[in-house]
Structure 1
Amino acid sequence: MSSKTKPQTKSAKVIAQLSRTIGATLDEICKATNWQQHSARAFLTGLRKKGYALAREQRGDDGTAYRITQNPSDKEPKGAA
C-alpha cells in the first residue's frame, strides 16, 4: 500500500459499516468514529435526507442495528417512467 493513499473519512467508514449484511449498531459507529451517540444519530438522519434507505433491525442482545438497504444512486431518476 502506498503511503500517499488518501485517509478514509469517518463518513466512508460508517457507510461501509452500514453496507454490511449485519449493518452496524450505534456503539459500533461511535467506536469507529469516536463520535458521541447523538452525533451518530444525526449522521444517520443526514444519510436519510441524502436519499439512503436505512433499515432498523433488532440484533439480539447487541441492540438495534442499522443497515443501508438502498443507495441514492440505486433509485430511479426523477421523472422516469
Structure 2
Amino acid sequence: MTTTHSSNQRSGVSGRARARPTRQAELRKLLARRSGASIAQIQKAFNWQPHTVRAAISAQRKSGSVIVRSNTDKGSVYRIVEESGSQ
C-alpha cells in the first residue's frame, strides 16, 4: 500500500501545471501594450467590477509603475510608460 501512495504523490507532482502569472502581472502586461487598456477591456479580461479595476491600477501605481490616462472617444485608456532616467 505504501508503494501505491508514493506513486500517487509522484504523479501529482509531475502532473502539476506551471504556476500561472498573478493577476497583477497579467494586468501589467495589458497596460504595457502600445494601445494600453480601457476599464472595459480590463473588466472583460478579469471579470472584475469597474471599482476593482481602478483599485488594481492604483496598486500598480503604488508599486512604482508610471501609468498615464488618456481620453479617447471610447473612454479613458490607461498605459504604463517607461521612465527614461532617474527623477
The answer on 1:70 being equivalent to 2:70 is no
Contact 2:24–2:60 (8 Å) recurs in 1: no
Q: Which residue of structure 1 aligns with residue 60 of structure 2?
A: 47
Residue among 32, 37, 42 paired with 1:29: 42
Structure 2 runs not aligned, ≥5 long:
1-15
> For the pair shown, which has the larger CA radius of gyration, 1 or 2?
2
Code of the aligned partner of 2:38: T
Contact 2:38–2:76 (8 Å) recurs in 1: yes
Instruction: Give TM-score scaled by structure 2 length.
Output: 0.70
Rounded Cα–Cα distance in structure 2 between residues aligned with 1:59 and 1:4: 40
Instruction: Give TM-score scaled by structure 1 length.
Output: 0.75
Rounded Cα–Cα distance in structure 1 between residues aligned with 2:17 and 2:72: 38
Query: Structure 1 segments of 4 or more deviating over 6 A?
Result: none
The answer on 1:8 being equivalent to 2:33 is no
Q: 1:66 to 1:7 in 2, by over 3 A?
A: same
Residue among 11, 15, 19 paired with 2:32: 19
Q: How many residues align?
A: 72
Provide the aligned C-alpha RMSD in A. 2.1
Secondary structure of residue in 2 paired with 1:21: coil
Structure 1 runs not aligned, ≥5 long:
77-81
